[in-house]
């Protein structure tokens, strides 16, 4: 019997589940009847996320953990197995960041972003593989970003970590393919998303941090992650037309894109007003001294609820076949027209 056929659904682990994309993703898995383990630092956010998972139809397990601690992540994985059973899906999503020029980011701050955002994925993947490889089954979803390919100003620590995740995941995929393993790993590259991160990141810009438009709702990302978990044969999925445009431009005209970002990347990542919130770099903003931020940020008025590009990404073979048939039809019509003129 496959994991999708078990009476209690799959066992899914989501890191960074207390807010933003992780929170929306946990709800999306729960809506399918899955048992969801919620891993994060913020107790207030985790408690609220667990309530949402249960209301959506799933079972919830709250595990407070800092993903930069390898042993703690291993212990969390064992707790999930002891409570729910074998892990079917592990979603690496937890991250932190600093909005500042590179020269204004301290060594400890840069190290902290790297440990959470990059090594957190490494440690999560190791913990998942420890349980998945003996069973020769399971899926690991790495939540990436267009910034895994294209670095932008003011986010050097985050961009460096996302680039590292990309390279690490590609190496791992090669090793799993070589071993003919039944364990799969895939990556979902996201656009700018309306999450609370812009309220709690460490910010040294003059203005209030904001995502580069267009902005998508976290549920758009969540749907892509859930889909990828069930279709992990693909190496990666792109979400949002802006992600596709960025990655294509970076492959074709990287120098031109670099100059464009140098000109626009500072103003597009900050609003004129300033509103300081406690940064979550060292301690969770949604911990006992904070409050629950939910899945959405403050950009609901402009955020997009759907992504046609996401459908194209899922159905690229079908699209390719349709384009081939269409092109053949055009050529045939032109040939017939030419014959008629003769």
Q: How far, in Å, CA of 307 to CA of 64, rounded?
A: 33
Helix (H, G, I), strand (E, B) or coil at 278: coil
Active site residue 158: yes
Q: How far, in Å, CA of 291 to CA of 262, rounded?
A: 36
**Cis-peptide into 267, omega within 30 deg:** no
Q: Could you tell me which of 278, 288, 109 has the C-alpha nearest to residue 196? A: 278
The burial of 333, by beta-carbon neighbours within 10 Å (0-12 exposed, 13-18 middle, 19 or more buried), is given as exposed
Segment holding 99, helix H or strand E: strand 98-99
Helix (H, G, I), strand (E, B) or coil at 238: strand
Task: Output the CA angle 27-194-41, nearest 5 degrees.
Answer: 60
DSSP assignment of 160-203 equals HHHHHHHHHHHHHHHHHHHTT-SEEEEEEEE--B--THHHHSEE
Q: Which is catalytic among the residues 121, 149, 158, 227?
A: 158
What residues act catalytically?
158
């Amino acid at each position: 019997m496959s994991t999708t056929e078990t009476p209690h659904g799959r066992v899914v682990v989501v890191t960074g589940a207390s807010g933003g994309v992780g929170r929306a993703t946990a709800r999306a898995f729960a809506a399918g009847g899955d048992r969801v383990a919620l891993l994060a630092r913020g107790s207030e956010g985790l408690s609220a996320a667990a309530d949402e998972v249960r209301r959506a139809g799933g079972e919830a397990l709250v595990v407070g953990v800092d993903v930069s601690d390898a042993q703690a992540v291993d212990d969390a994985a064992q707790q999930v197995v002891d409570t729910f059973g074998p892990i079917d899906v592990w979603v690496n999503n937890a991250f932190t960041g600093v909005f500042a020029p590179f020269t204004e980011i301290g060594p400890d701050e840069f190290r902290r972003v790297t440990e959470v955002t990059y090594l957190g994925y490494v440690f999560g993947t190791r913990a998942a593989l420890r349980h998945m490889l003996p069973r020769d089954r399971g899926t690991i979803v790495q939540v990436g970003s267009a910034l895994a390919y294209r670095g932008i100003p003011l986010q050097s620590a985050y961009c460096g970590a996302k680039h590292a995740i990309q390279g690490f995941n590609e190496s791992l995929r090669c090793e799993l393919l070589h071993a003919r393993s039944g364990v799969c790993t895939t990556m979902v590259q996201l656009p700018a998303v309306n999450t609370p991160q812009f309220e709690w990141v460490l910010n040294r810009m003059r203005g209030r941090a904001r995502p580069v438009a267009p902005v998508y709702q976290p549920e758009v990302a969540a749907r892509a992650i859930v889909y990828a978990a069930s279709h992990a044969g693909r190496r990666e999925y792109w979400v949002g037309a802006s992600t596709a445009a960025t990655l294509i431009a970076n492959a074709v005209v990287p120098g031109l894109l670099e100059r464009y970002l140098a000109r626009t990347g500072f103003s597009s990542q900050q609003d004129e007003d300033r509103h300081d919130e406690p940064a979550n770099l060292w301690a969770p903003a949604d911990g006992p001294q904070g409050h629950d931020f939910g899945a959405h940020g403050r950009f609901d008025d402009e955020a997009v609820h759907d992504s046609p590009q996401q459908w194209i990404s899922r159905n690229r073979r079908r699209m390719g076949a349709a384009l081939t048939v269409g092109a053949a039809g055009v050529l045939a019509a032109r040939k017939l027209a030419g014959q008629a003129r003769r």
